[in-house]
Each structure stands twice: as structure tokens, then as C-alpha cells.
């Protein structure tokens, strides 16, 4: 096994880049890399660790064939690796195999047609159609990519590293105007067209959880995109298939989505496998998905420790997010000690682990989360005595919340062109809601007559009632005329599923950028601004505490430190001295 080491700059620090072939990667190599806290970088396409002597000597002592690579050699190898990675992309490989089945006018490239019109840096290649999309494979050229992103009907397929262009005359005209030449064939999409072709969907039982069934589909972008429209589906990397609730309704919906195509269903399920009782609600689905994803990251002998941890968390009715956070921290802790039995890990080793995290720059809030995760395991699973947990906690940094002025908030709202995005931000600010509370809001939670919002199962599993601003009603009317959602107010790409928190955060980030606000403002900043502006308007802090759902008044009083009124009404001693001197000088004159 040959390993190449290279000095790289990653995440604002110098690192040791560790390069080796994919064939040499195994559990033994992974365990060695974990000992120096090495991580994999998708952008650098290598493993990396801290740039210090201890990591370097560890690599030299644990790997025999090590080569120190220069910058020039590394750039050459990167180009070779990039070319290889392009060759094995799923969609590109499938398209090349199918080239012979398509007419020649669908196999055009910028190099063959004209080097003068199309930017030669693109190395443009038009692949055979996939369903209702033309497929463009090209290199990244910033000005052209920026324009393509603005064209409605064009999107970047990250999985297959290709541009998908909707087969429509207007889209064709816009794209070709950007590229500078007519390169797309005149094969426009017809609604009656059979776009998916002949393929087979295989359905099998799921041994780990009989409430699910395994659905295997071909590696075809259009098939996968169609399947993603179904509610309650999720992809399992470990099984290489989609998992769906084993219910008759789900099977009916699956066949309905592919009814217009020549699809063959291979149903290997027993007769009594599909049951209505197998329907999985949102909470159960999130817990099940989180549990399976976490177990897939640990070796076999350590799964018993992780299972005990998760079973205890679920028995105590902790939320899926807490389950994921606590268990992930515990897995990282076990990985540091090579997945030893936690009962053999001493208190001194726990302290040494926390000290190392702080040394690596871990914030105090993250340190508290790690300590709480470990304390939960040893106290609730292993039933250690409380006296054994006299472990020092990291000192907290006292940071003030990031807030926006009323003028800044208004600029952010005006920068949102999408009615859904604007209403999400207006609710977060107007009612002081967390982003998770906004996206999980249901129509049944809003009382339009009494102008109240019932926030259910919020942080800490607490319900509360907040105001529904009168000024937001007109936005709700406009929104309901555009979006026909049934359960959740804001639905995501999958019908019946709530809008993703990550999408809401991205939407807010783009709005702040368009508003030219040079502050680090997130969706939670709108909640902070809600509390601060209420305090400045004279609202009693105890009412603000109830609106925000804080258990302790001390949590709410932090907004007094950022309140504009509290700062502006207090005069600096230097200003007082200057004013006194100015007054004395005026009297003398």
C-alpha cells in the first residue's frame, strides 16, 4: 500500500493531506486514521489531519510505503484523479453506453461544431436525453454557470455532475443564447411521451424492520426523481435501495406513479407482509431513520453499546435531534478509544478526552453537549453514581445574540421575492418562532379568529401560545391562493412533508445577501430581533419570556444587553466630562 503525504491548506489551517487509492481503503486503515483524528475531505479528495510532528511520526511508523509529494506532482495527480472520476460518473457512463441508440444530432459537442461560438473551456458535450430533460456535460466556467442558474427549467444534478435542461422551446432558446450556439436537438417534451422506458422495480422484505419494504430501481435520474415524489420514502446507503412503509397504500401509490410507463414489478413480498398497521408516523420515521444511520457508522462489536444508548434515549422520550446529537458524540468518544468497552474507560480518560477537544478549539457550548452526552450514558445506561461525575465543565463564553434593527428586518423581507419565503420570515419575526417551529407549523395550529398560534411540542416538548400578527393575514391569503397545502403550512419537495430547516436557513442567507446587510444573520436572528424590539417598545420582560417559551427569566434578560433603549439612555462618563467643560467654557464667555 502506497501513501502520499502532501501539505494542504484546508478549513483555514495547514493540514497533512493523506492520499491513497480507493482499493487500499479498509477497516484497518480507517482505524489507524481515526487515532490521529483524521477526516475525509470531499473537496480535496483525500484524508487530512493536523499539521504537526506527532501526526507525521504516527503516519511514518504505521504505514510502510510513504511518499512525500511536491506541489507539482500533486497537481498532476489531481488532474488524473479528476479525469478518472468524470469517466465513472453514473449518468455519463450510462449515456455513453446508450449513444448508439440515439440519432447523431443528439450527440453533439462544442468542439465538433464550432470552436469560435462556444467557449472552448467548457468542453461541452450533449448527452442523450433523460426523460423530459436534455443533459449537458461541461467544465465549470463561472460567468456561464452563473447565467445558467438563472434560467427557469435548468438545474444542476450534483449526483451525476451534469446540467439537466427541460425540453422546452423557450428553455432551449435561453440556454443556447448563453452558450452562443445552437447545440440542443429539437426533441421537445410531450406530456403523452413515455419518458422512462422499459425497466424493472424489485421489491423485497426488509429484515431489520418489517414495517418497511426494500425498493430497488435502476440508476436512472428520471426514475429516481419520480420516486422521490412519494411521501415517506428514504434512501439507505447501506442497503443500496429505497425504504418505504410496507402498506397497501404505499404499494398502490408506487404503481400509480409508474403506471404510464413500461415498468415491470418484481414483488418478492409474502402475501401477508403489506399491512395498514405498518404505517409509520413522522416521529417514528425520524427515530427509525436516525437509529439506522448511526448504527451504520460503527463496527459490529460496538453496536451493542450504541444500541443501549439509543434505546435508553427513546425510552425516556427524547427527540430525534437529541438522539442524533447525544449518540453521535458518544460514537466519537468511543472511536477515540478504539471502540473499547465503556466500562473499562476511567474518569481520568474521560477528562483527558474533553481536554483534547478543548485543545483542538472546541467551543464551550459544544463541550457542554459532549459532556452531557457522556454523562447521560454513564449515569442512565451504566448507572454510575452521581459522585463519580464530578468532572469539570468548560467555562461558558457570554456571547450576545445577533439582532437586526427594524429597518434591516424590513429590507430582508423586501429582498424575498418568493411568497413562501417571505411568509416564513414574517412568521419567525412576527411571532418569535424558532425555524423548526415555523416549518413544522400546521394549519390546525393557527386560530385566525382569535389571532393566536398554538406552538406544539416545541423545544423541551413544551406547548405555548403566541400572537398571530394582524398585518400578516393578507400574506396568508395570498399564500393559500398559490399553495394548496393540506396539513403542514409550508411543504417541501415531497407532498405531505414539512419544509426543510436547511432550505429555510439557505433562503434567509440569500435574502440577507440581497439586502446588502453586512451582518451574520440567520433565521434565529429574527427571533432575537423579535424579543429585542418588544423590550425596546416597553413590553414587560415576563410576557416576552412566555412568548419565547423560556423556562428561566435569566435566559430572557440577555436581551437587555442588546436593547437599543438601555444603551442610548446611559451616558458615558467621558461625554459627561466633555459636556461639563463645554458648559463652564460657555459661562466664562
Active site residues: 434, 459, 524, 527, 550, 559
For the chain, how far is it from start to end, CA to CA, in angstroms?
Answer: 90
Containing 125, the helix (H) or strand (E) segment is strand 125-130
3-class secondary-structure state, position 25 = coil
Indicate if the alpha-carbon torsion angle 433, 436, 439, 443 is positive or negative: negative
CA distance 164 to 156: 6
Indicate if the alpha-carbon torsion angle 98, 104, 106, 107 is positive or negative: positive
CA distance 549 to 466: 9
Strands 39-41 and 46-50: antiparallel
CA distance 204 to 216: 8
Report whether 529 contacts 403 (CB < 8 A): yes
Q: Is 157 exposed, middle or buried (0-12, 13-18, 19+ CB in 10 A)?
A: middle
Beta partners for residue 264, in sequence order:
200
Q: Cβ contacts of residue 229 below 8 Å, gap of 6+?
A: 257, 493, 494, 495
324-329 LR contacts (CB < 8 Å, sep 24+) = 324/290, 324/294, 325/369, 325/373, 326/372, 326/373, 326/376, 326/377, 327/290, 327/294, 327/373, 328/294, 329/369, 329/370, 329/373, 329/374
Q: Is 442 exposed, middle or buried (0-12, 13-18, 19+ CB in 10 A)?
A: middle
CA distance 495 to 82: 37
Q: Dump the DSSP string for 505-570.
A: HHHHHHHHHHTT--S---HHHHHHHHHHHHHHTT--HHHHHHHHT-SSHHHHGGGGGT-HHHHHTS
Task: Report the chain's C-alpha Rg in angstroms.
Answer: 29
Indicate if the alpha-carbon torsion angle 351, 353, 356, 358 is positive or negative: negative
CA distance 475 to 420: 9
3-class secondary-structure state, position 244 = strand
Amino acid at each position: 500500500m502506497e501513501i502520499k503525504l502532501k501539505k494542504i491548506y484546508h478549513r483555514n489551517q495547514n493540514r497533512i493531506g493523506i492520499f491513497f487509492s480507493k482499493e487500499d481503503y479498509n477497516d484497518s486503515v480507517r482505524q489507524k486514521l481515526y487515532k490521529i483524528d483524521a477526516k475525509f475531505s470531499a473537496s480535496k479528495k483525500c484524508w487530512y489531519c493536523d499539521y504537526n510532528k506527532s501526526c507525521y511520526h504516527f503516519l511514518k511508523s504505521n504505514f510502510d510505503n510513504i511518499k512525500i509529494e511536491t506541489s507539482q506532482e500533486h497537481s498532476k495527480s489531481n488532474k488524473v484523479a479528476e479525469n478518472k472520476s468524470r469517466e465513472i460518473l453514473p449518468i455519463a457512463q450510462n449515456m455513453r453506453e446508450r449513444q448508439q441508440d440515439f440519432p447523431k444530432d443528439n450527440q453533439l459537442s462544442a468542439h465538433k461544431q464550432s470552436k469560435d461560438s462556444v467557449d472552448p473551456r467548457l468542453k461541452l458535450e450533449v448527452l442523450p436525453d433523460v426523460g423530459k430533460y436534455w443533459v449537458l456535460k461541461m467544465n465549470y466556467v463561472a460567468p456561464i454557470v452563473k447565467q445558467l442558474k438563472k434560467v427557469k427549467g435548468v438545474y444542476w444534478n450534483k449526483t451525476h455532475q451534469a446540467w439537466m435542461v427541460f425540453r422546452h422551446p423557450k428553455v432551449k432558446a435561453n440556454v443556447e443564447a448563453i452558450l452562443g450556439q445552437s447545440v440542443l436537438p429539437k426533441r421537445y417534451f410531450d406530456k403523452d411521451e413515455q419518458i422512462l422506458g422499459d425497466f424493472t422495480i424489485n421489491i423485497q422484505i426488509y429484515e431489520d424492520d418489517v414495517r418497511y419494504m426494500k425498493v430497488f430501481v435502476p440508476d436512472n435520474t428520471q426514475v429516481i426523481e419520480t420516486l422521490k415524489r412519494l411521501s415517506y420514502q428514504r434512501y439507505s446507503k447501506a442497503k443500496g435501495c429505497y425504504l418505504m412503509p410496507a402498506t397497501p397504500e404505499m404499494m398502490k401509490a408506487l404503481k400509480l406513479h409508474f403506471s404510464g410507463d413500461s415498468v415491470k414489478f418484481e414483488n418478492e413480498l409474502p402475501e401477508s407482509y403489506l399491512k395498514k398497521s405498518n404505517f409509520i408516523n413522522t416521529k417514528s420515521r425520524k427515530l427509525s431513520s436516525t437509529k439506522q444511520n448511526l448504527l451504520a457508522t460503527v463496527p459490529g462489536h460496538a453496536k451493542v453499546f450504541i444500541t443501549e444508548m439509543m434505546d435508553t434515549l427513546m425510552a425516556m422520550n427524547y427527540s430525534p435531534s437529541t438522539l442524533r446529537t447525544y449518540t453521535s458524540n458518544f460514537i466519537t468518544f468511543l472511536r477515540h478509544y478504539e471502540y473499547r468497552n465503556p466500562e473499562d474507560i476511567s474518569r481520568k480518560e474521560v477528562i483527558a478526552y474533553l481536554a483534547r477537544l478543548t485543545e483542538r478549539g472546541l467551543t464551550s457550548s459544544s463541550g457542554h453537549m459532549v459532556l452531557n452526552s457522556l454523562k447521560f450514558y454513564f449515569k442512565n445506561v451504566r448507572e454510575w453514581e452521581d459522585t463519580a461525575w464530578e468532572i469539570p465543565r468548560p467555562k461558558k463564553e457570554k456571547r450576545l445574540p445577533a439582532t437586526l434593527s427594524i429597518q434591516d428586518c424590513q429590507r430582508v423581507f423586501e429582498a424575498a421575492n418568493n411568497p413562501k419565503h417571505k411568509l416564513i420570515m414574517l412568521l419567525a419575526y412576527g411571532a418569535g418562532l424558532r425555524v423548526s417551529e415555523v416549518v413544522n407549523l400546521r394549519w390546525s395550529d393557527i386560530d385566525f379568529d382569535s389571532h393566536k398560534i398554538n406552538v406544539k411540542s416545541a423545544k423541551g416538548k413544551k406547548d405555548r401560545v403566541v400572537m398571530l400578527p394582524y398585518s400578516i393575514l393578507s400574506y396568508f391569503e395570498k399564500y393559500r391562493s398559490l399553495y394548496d397545502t393540506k396539513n403542514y403550512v409550508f411543504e417541501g419537495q415531497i407532498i405531505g412533508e414539512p419544509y426543510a430547516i436547511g432550505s429555510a436557513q439557505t433562503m434567509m442567507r440569500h435574502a440577507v445577501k440581497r439586502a446588502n446587510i453586512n451582518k451574520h444573520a440567520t433565521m434565529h436572528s429574527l427571533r432575537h430581533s423579535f424579543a429585542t424590539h418588544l423590550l425596546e417598545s416597553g413590553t414587560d420582560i415576563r410576557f416576552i419570556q412566555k412568548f419565547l417559551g423560556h423556562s428561566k427569566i435569566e435566559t430572557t434578560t440577555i436581551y437587555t444587553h442588546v436593547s437599543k433603549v438601555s444603551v442610548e439612555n446611559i451616558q458615558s462618563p467621558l461625554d459627561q466630562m466633555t459636556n461639563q467643560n463645554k458648559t463652564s467654557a460657555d459661562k466664562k464667555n
